[in-house]
Structure 1
Amino acid sequence: MPFSSRVFRPVRWSVAPAAGLLLMSCSAPAQRVAPAPPATIRPDSTVLVAAGPHYQRGAVHRFFWGTHYRALWTLPVTAPVFNLRTAVPGGLTPIREGGSFQTRNLRLVDRNGVQYVLRSVDKDATKALPESLQNGPIGRLMKDQTSVIHPYGAYIVPPLARAAGIYYTNPRLVYVADDPALGEYRESFGNALYLFEERPEGDQRTVGSFGFSAQVVSSRHAFTNLVASSRYQVDARQYLRSRLFDMWLGDWSRREDQWRWASFPAADGGTVYRAIPRDRDHAFFKFDDGLLTHIIGWVKPNYQSFHEKIRLSDVEGLNSAARPMDKSLLPYLTRQDFQQIADSLRSSLSDAVIARALAVWPREVQQLAAAEFSRKLRSRREQLPAVAARFYELLARDVELPGTDEAERFVLEALGPRQVRVQVYRLTPQGATLLQQRVFHSPETRSLKLFGLGGNDAFELRGDPDPRFKIGVYDGAGQDLLEAAPAPARPRSRLTVYDNADGNTLRVGKTEVEKYQPRAEEFDGAGWLLRHRLY
């Protein structure tokens, strides 16, 4: 069988005297030889090729910088050769190069306008560095650490996600040869391994793994609508199920751009969004098996490695990238909701499901890694209820409840010792409609913040909340009404109304009122989106 036409120059070792650290340096950057003639690799055949033979390192380097998944990167695997003319009926046409600072993507379109993407298996994070550093020792070391990523991890996620009842993309491992059909992208994309998958965007009514949604949108689109109107809502239970699945996989890189949102009509005429996780590059991350990478992990708590056991002390770090989303989308779910979903997810991920998923790997990968992954996935599955409980506790500690740019009424009511209830209503000329409510308990919740954002909102304070809660009411933009009914003569509560002095009406008795200049993320809908890194 033919092999990938790449060559790599020999490596030498040196010690950086200033840092005292062992670094790898190459005699010259790796070069690609001239591509083989198209006839040597027939479309619709297979090749035996390694995803990253350049990650092979000696024992000394591995001691300091980790073994990671080097054995899998350097392992030749059997992969089908990708044929743009036959991959889908009518063929595919390349239209655009893209990707993040690590992954190179090539967007493709079929004859019906449906879009697909080729995502490089190998990564290169050096593009995040200044150009002067990219080809030096720092750049080479940064490139070397791509070996922390499992090159075939995303490949087994679809059968697991299907059993878990969450949405997913369907990546297929393919080898792109020096294919003339690549056109202007032939030189930069030929002769390498890729994951080929549908692009989750637009009309997906024919794709079951996206819920047959008529409109799949980006996080920026979805969050803009969520802030604009309460007629847009997220299915919080479905999102939580996806997040617990992330933790099971050890996928810590779940920032906003790693999601798409399937749209569905709601019973009240609005829209419900359901989460579509994408880009599983950091699932099964393995970082802490080198002396120096282990030390780095102490200061980068989000770099959580995929071990047999999920330490509860690591749950916060594991979820730090998604924390702004989690706080915005999950505040009304209770401890019972978290436990129910964790128990359901654990039941759905049977030993048989795990075995079928691992059987999707190329035969060579199965022989090397299936036993280890079967053991780890089964062990982590049993920890899901405990992980969910810890995740709930972290989110329940300090709660933020945003409104929208339309008019809402927030009712904050003292229910007795250690309890306070928050209800949020949509205000229309036809009346008020209850949107969300939850009873919060001390000591699991220590602070509550209510954000009006835009619109002419009303804040109604009933009774005197337990002083164990620190409560802040942020009026936001608009002509808002804040009133305590009845206003306590001697309030005990730690409740502060933050008034930005834009014409609000305050009837709050002796409740503390603080004039303030709001930060961007506390002021209006557009500002709120800043915390989600979408603007």
Structure 2
Amino acid sequence: MLVSCSAPAAPRLALPAIGPDSTVQVAAGPQYMRGAVHQFFWGKHYRKLWAVPVRARVLNLRTAVPGGLTPTVAGGSFQTKNLRLVDKQGVEYVLRSVDKDATKALPEGLREGPVGKLMKDQTSVINPYGAYIVPRLAEAAGVYHTTPRLVYVADDPALGPFRQSYANALYLLEERPEGDQSTVRSFGRSARVESSRKVFTNLVTTARGRVDARQYLRARLFDMWVGDWSRREDQWRWASFPGRGGATVYRAIPRDRDHAFFKFDDGLLTHIISWVKSNYQSFHATIRLSDVEGLNRAARPLDKSLLVYLTAADFRQVADSMRLSLSDQVIEQALVVWPPEVYALAGAEFNHNLRSRRDQLPAVAAKFYELLAREVEIPGTDEAERFVLEPMGPGQLRVQVLSLRAGRPDSLLNQRTFTYPDTRSIKLFGLGGNDVFDLRGLPDHRFAVGIYDGAGQDSVTWKTPASPSKQPTNVMVYDSGDGNTINVAKPIKTEGYVPAATEFDAAGWLLRHRLF
């Protein structure tokens, strides 16, 4: 699997103008407004924002864009209702419900009982208009983004078979990041936007797929800045671009900002729950460094895979760049996009919190690097690669991954020099192909190095010195017993194993990312 480190220019985008329809004054969720006792135990959250009426344009599907919009597919997650729309040119959009319903994750018998009612009430932890301010912030930060617009869908006959389920509610209308987006600047004008499943399959299959790691890191630091802790794999799409030598470069498109600006721990019971569910991070003025691990738990499999070749200097440079890009003026301009009623209630709080959190980005990035650098996993692909391990001095180990091509010199794919004590464990996974693991010296014994062969007839070689080495080391070769050549001597150890779904055995790598 490859990563690259270029940074894209800050994108821009505008959805087609919505036609001159009428407007309505409507509250997103007045049912979430509760009494003082309930709020004491279960939190104030964003109940006032849910209850305040705001003005929204009525979306007339027949006149919204030239030729109209046609509903095609209903869907969504366990919380959000989605409705896919398509215009006459085949451009796709999606309606995402502002109100949520987490009870769909419960067994049907519990949905209408006390547990279901409590879960529904906790929808108020979400800022109903949070996603609305993200585009201007993301654009300034150099992060790809959708551009949601607040609309009201009335009892429109053009909804057809979806009329009963989708009429009379507030939605965010946004472009759907899929397929040919060459006209959409906020997706980098990519001619091919793909799903995580497709991209990760390509990364496992061939070394000709590359992820722009610095651009992905920029998106992940943006997630932390806005407090978006729910960044699982399906929350991403990937803009693809032609790279050097026939490679494909993928850049991350974050989507679904339902959990940005989360506010959970302001009730007695929800505060206690937050101690147990440490990923439920609230959007305060301070990002506590002790909370960085929980804030990023959902995205950890992605982060460990896609950021493995970036150094502490890369993390520092990206964080410093973002801190400078997100000026006070940028923050203020993003917030005034809110309906006036929303800005009056939350503008000052968000202005303060966003500025404070922005100034913490370098420290947060350093902690993020520390967490990821401790235990490293480096996968190859289903093609043949050479893994070269070479000590560079006390507490330093350089790992290079090269493409093996018959009749041609090896081609360097990626490399990084790891330093103890930042890194303590390094695991290499050959995946498919006839891979070569080349140890050019014994790694510092403080590194725990694991070599996993994967499929194919692999070779592991350490050129034993003339006199037996007394240098301690901590290298284990895991041999699946499928015809490998293991040419090592003490103190390197060999052990048989059966690859599990949690290991990098191609399909197992996708299972690890919960994509099957």
Matched residues, number: 494
1:493 maps onto 2:468 in alignment: no
State the partner residue of 2:5: none
State the partner residue of 1:516: 497
1:104 maps onto 2:81 in alignment: yes
Letter of the aligned partner of 2:168 in structure 1? N
Deviations 1:156-204 (A, max 9, x none): 0000111111100010000111111111111111110000000000000
Deviations 1:65-107 (A, max 9, x none): 1110000000101111111122222110001110011000110
Is the contact between residue 346 and residue 382 of structure 1 (CA under 8 Å) also seen in structure 2?
A: yes
State the partner residue of 1:531: 512
State the partner residue of 1:377: 354
Is the contact between residue 477 and residue 523 of structure 1 (CA under 8 Å) also seen in structure 2?
A: no
TM-score normalised by structure 1 residue count: 0.91
Query: What aligned pairs does 1:427-446 form with structure 2 within 5 A after superposition?
Result: 427-429=404-406, 430-446=408-424
Give the distance between the partners of 2:388 and 2:190, measured in 1 at CA.
Answer: 35
State the partner residue of 1:402: 379
Is the contact between residue 24 and residue 56 of structure 2 (CA under 8 Å) also seen in structure 1?
A: yes
Give the distance between the partners of 2:119 and 2:268, measured in 1 at CA.
Answer: 16
Give the distance between the partners of 1:382 and 1:255, measured in 2 at CA.
Answer: 26
Give the distance between the partners of 2:309 and 2:121, measured in 1 at CA.
Answer: 43
State the partner residue of 1:459: 437
Give the distance between the partners of 1:153 and 1:492, measured in 2 at CA.
Answer: 55
Give the distance between the partners of 2:265 and 2:318, measured in 1 at CA.
Answer: 30
Query: What aligned pairs does 1:47-58 form with structure 2 within 5 A after superposition?
Result: 47-58=24-35
Give the distance between the partners of 2:82 and 2:309, measured in 1 at CA.
Answer: 37
Give the distance between the partners of 1:485 and 1:207, measured in 2 at CA.
Answer: 54
Is the contact between residue 476 and residue 522 of structure 1 (CA under 8 Å) also seen in structure 2?
A: no
Structure 1 counterpart of 2:370, from 385, 390, 393:
393
Structure 1 residues not aligned, in runs of 5+: 1-41
State the partner residue of 2:130: 153
State the partner residue of 2:336: 359
- 1:489 is displaced (CA, Å) by 2.9
Residue 503 of structure 1 aligns to a residue in which SS? Answer: coil
Give the distance between the partners of 1:254 and 1:452, measured in 2 at CA.
Answer: 28
1:475 maps onto 2:456 in alignment: no
> CA RMSD, aligned part only?
1.0
Residue 428 of structure 1 aligns to a residue in which SS? Answer: coil
Is the contact between residue 264 and residue 271 of structure 1 (CA under 8 Å) also seen in structure 2?
A: yes
State the partner residue of 2:326: 349
Structure 1 counterpart of 2:487, from 486, 489, 507:
507
Give the distance between the partners of 2:235 and 2:269, measured in 1 at CA.
Answer: 28
Letter of the aligned partner of 1:499 in structure 2? D
State the partner residue of 1:70: 47
Query: What aligned pairs does 1:28-67 form with structure 2 within 5 A after superposition?
Result: 44-67=21-44
Give the distance between the partners of 1:64 and 1:203, measured in 2 at CA.
Answer: 48
Is the contact between residue 215 and residue 252 of structure 2 (CA under 8 Å) also seen in structure 1?
A: yes
1:128 maps onto 2:105 in alignment: yes
Structure 1 counterpart of 2:163, from 186, 196, 211:
186
1:205 maps onto 2:182 in alignment: yes
Deviations 1:102-155 (A, max 9, x none): 000110011111110000000001010000000000000000000000000000
Deviations 1:471-503 (A, max 9, x none): 100111110010002456335111100001110
State the partner residue of 2:16: none
Is the contact between residue 373 and residue 422 of structure 2 (CA under 8 Å) also seen in structure 1?
A: yes
Identity %: 72
Give the distance between the partners of 2:20 and 2:133, measured in 1 at CA.
Answer: 25
Deviations 1:211-260 (A, max 9, x none): 00000000000000001011001000000000000000000000000000
Deviations 1:309-364 (A, max 9, x none): 00000000000000000000001000000000000000000011001100110111
Is the contact between residue 501 and residue 512 of structure 2 (CA under 8 Å) also seen in structure 1?
A: no
Is the contact between residue 123 and residue 146 of structure 1 (CA under 8 Å) also seen in structure 2?
A: yes
Give the distance between the partners of 2:409 and 2:501, measured in 1 at CA.
Answer: 31
Is the contact between residue 379 and residue 504 of structure 2 (CA under 8 Å) also seen in structure 1?
A: no
Deviations 1:288-309 (A, max 9, x none): 0011111111111100000000
Is the contact between residue 203 and residue 216 of structure 1 (CA under 8 Å) also seen in structure 2?
A: yes
Letter of the aligned partner of 2:511 in structure 1? L
Give the distance between the partners of 1:250 and 1:86, measured in 2 at CA.
Answer: 37
State the partner residue of 2:198: 221
Is the contact between residue 63 and residue 291 of structure 1 (CA under 8 Å) also seen in structure 2?
A: yes
State the partner residue of 2:15: none
Give the distance between the partners of 1:245 and 1:486, measured in 2 at CA.
Answer: 48
Give the distance between the partners of 1:441 and 1:43, measured in 2 at CA.
Answer: 61
Query: What aligned pairs does 1:216-255 form with structure 2 within 5 A after superposition?
Result: 216-255=193-232
Is the contact between residue 130 and residue 260 of structure 2 (CA under 8 Å) also seen in structure 1?
A: yes
Letter of the aligned partner of 2:475 in structure 1? L
Letter of the aligned partner of 2:461 in structure 1? E
Structure 2 counterpart of 1:284, from 261, 267, 278:
261
TM-score normalised by structure 2 residue count: 0.95
Give the distance between the partners of 2:369 and 2:26, measured in 1 at CA.
Answer: 44
Is the contact between residue 406 and residue 454 of structure 1 (CA under 8 Å) also seen in structure 2?
A: yes
Structure 2 residues not aligned, in runs of 5+: 1-18
Give the distance between the partners of 1:516 and 1:105, measured in 2 at CA.
Answer: 45
Give the distance between the partners of 2:344 and 2:63, measured in 1 at CA.
Answer: 31
Give the distance between the partners of 2:282 and 2:197, measured in 1 at CA.
Answer: 29
Residue 498 of structure 2 aligns to a residue in which SS? Answer: coil
- 1:43 is displaced (CA, Å) by 7.2
Larger relative contact order, structure 1 or 2 (CA cutoff 8 Å, min sep 6): 2
Letter of the aligned partner of 1:455 in structure 2? G
Letter of the aligned partner of 1:531 in structure 2? R
Letter of the aligned partner of 1:441 in structure 2? T
Letter of the aligned partner of 1:447 in structure 2? S
Is the contact between residue 217 and residue 260 of structure 1 (CA under 8 Å) also seen in structure 2?
A: yes
Is the contact between residue 383 and residue 433 of structure 2 (CA under 8 Å) also seen in structure 1?
A: yes
Give the distance between the partners of 1:489 and 1:515, measured in 2 at CA.
Answer: 24
Deviations 1:13-42 (A, max 9, x none): xxxxxxxxxxxxxxxxxxxxxxxxxxxxx9
Letter of the aligned partner of 1:358 in structure 2? L
Query: What aligned pairs does 1:238-317 form with structure 2 within 5 A after superposition?
Result: 238-317=215-294
State the partner residue of 2:11: none
